[in-house]
Amino acid sequence: MTSPSGGRDCAGDHCVTCSDEAVPVRVLRIRDGGLADVDAGDGRIEEVSVALVDAAAGDIVLVHAKEAIGVVT
């Protein structure tokens, strides 16, 4: 990913600007308001925003800070 300054800030499995990782989760249900219920993989169901991606129930999305930032194809 390219930063606003034009350099490469994100590589590998985490963002070097904040050291956080995007976590893959499965979308269980799309809700109103750009939200979705997702299976976090450890028995927890969480609500995340899917406003930035075109996701559907059953998709695997990458989530960073409760925001889906990509759909795994």
Please tell me which residue, 61 or 22, carries the higher pLDDT value: 61
Model confidence at 71, pLDDT cuts 50, 70, 90, reads very high
Give 25-36 pLDDT, tens digit per residue. Answer: 999 999 999 999
- Decide: pTM greater than 0.75: no
Instruction: Give the architecture-level CATH label for domain 20-71.
Output: Roll (2.30)
Average predicted confidence (pLDDT) for the chain: 82
CA distance 55 to 34: 10
Please tell me which residue, 50 or 43, carries the higher pLDDT value: 50
Please tell me which residue, 13 or 56, carries the higher pLDDT value: 56
Dihedral pair phi/psi, residue 52, rounded to 5°: -90, -5
Dihedral pair phi/psi, residue 39, rounded to 5°: -90, 115
CA distance 49 to 16: 23
